[in-house]
Structure 1
Amino acid sequence: MFLLLPVAYGAIKGLWKGLILEVASLAALVIIVVFGVKLVSMASPTINEWLGDSAGFLPFLPYLLVFIAIGFAVRFIGLLLKKTVNLTPLGLLDKVGGAFFGALKWGFAVCLLVYFANIAGLDTAFATVKESTVYPFYIEAAPSAWAFVQWVIPVGRDALGAL
């Protein structure tokens, strides 16, 4: 039952944020990871001119600035879309979809944690794990979740190479 707490948290948080902001936050993270490296290499010379080496922080400062800029831009667009949807009768659908997507996102994260815990050989002989009704589901779904991550990462590399 303990493994369902993060899923319940994700559902509640998704209900508050709505589907549009949940998807926007995930999209911002993917955009930052995939395209951030390219944008950092473009922004680094300009930031170096303005600030100098900044005591060795030059590689981190542009990435932080790009991270913040992309995060704010995607969040702003998401908020505009959310406000537009809330003016229509689709606001309830946004909330319900957000709860579902939030639960799915957190369940996916727990699934990956369980997968890596098993790979690392962490002891799962605890009584609570053995008696859990949810743990076997996570164990069965974890390899598929990791395969999905491996499928998404090359797509990001291809997109980065296209830039």
Structure 2
Amino acid sequence: MNTIDIILAILLALGLIRGIWRGLIIELGTLLAFVLGIYGAMYFSFYAADALKQYVSWNAQTTKVVAYVLTLMAVMFAVMFLAKLLTKVAKMVALGFVNRALGGIFGMLKVIVILGASLSFFDKTAHLWLSQEEVKKSVLFQPVKDIGNFVYAKVLNSLSETDFNPVKKNTPL
């Protein structure tokens, strides 16, 4: 194991520990809150902007930005509240261990995807600060990078194949 492997192993262990600590429901809830928050803010913040206009006399751009942020925060808060509620239910029906074990696996997979995307970038610039020999000797560098590239490519392909045209009252920010 070289320095690259030690750093990657520490990051993977942190993802595992964080996932165990938080549990699968909270880990998924966090990811879902982020995605749904952005979606909700992009396509529904005009409702908040219309409501804000009644109480403030800001210019249109400021109102849009504040409405976007408020909508994002509201959706994220609602999803996280639901995730915490579901976690409590899981504990009550004795699924706490399963939730935490699956959370650990999901937490580590999340770190693998993030690291994989990062390593793809670093691989193109690694010659500037790492020797190719050190990268080749690494046990974790290539597998983590390959998994990250695979997931990243699958997500991009699925997004490009989706006919996603939500109805909008106003154009998003």
TM, length-normalised to structure 1: 0.84
User: Identity over aligned residues, as a percent?
Assistant: 24
Q: Secondary structure at the match of 1:50?
A: coil
**Matched residue, 2:143:** 137
Partner residue, 1:5: 10
Q: 2:128 aligned with 1:122, yes or no?
A: no
Larger radius of gyration: 2
- Tell me how far apart the structure 2 counterparts of residues 108 and 19 of structure 1 sit (CA, whole Å): 16
**Secondary structure of the corresponding residue to residue 126 of structure 1:** coil
Runs of 4+ in 1 over 4 A off after TM superposition: 154-157
Question: Residue in 1 aligned with 2:171?
Answer: none
The CA deviation at 1:131 is 2.7
Task: Give the drift of 1:5.
Answer: 2.4
- Does residue 29 of the first structure (1) align with residue 9 of the second (2)? no
**8 Å CA contact retained: 1:112, 1:145:** no
TM value normalised by structure 2: 0.80
How many residue pairs match? The answer is: 160
When residues 64 and 22 of structure 1 are mapped into structure 2, their CA distance, relative to the original with a 3 A threshold, is same
Report if the CA contact (8 A) 1:34-1:156 is conserved. Answer: no
- Superimposed CA distance per residue, residues 35-93 of structure 1 (whole angstroms, 9 cap, x where no aligned partner): 32111123222223322226953332112111111111011111111101101221100
Farther off after superposition, 74-83 or 40-49 = 40-49
1:36-115 alignment to 2 at 5 Å?
36-53=41-58, 57-115=62-120
After TM superposition, give the deviation of residue 155 of structure 1 in Å.
7.2
Most deviating of 122-131 and 69-78: 122-131
What letter is aligned with 2:130?
A: F
Following the alignment from structure 1 to structure 2, what is the Cα–Cα distance between the partners of residues 142 and 84?
33
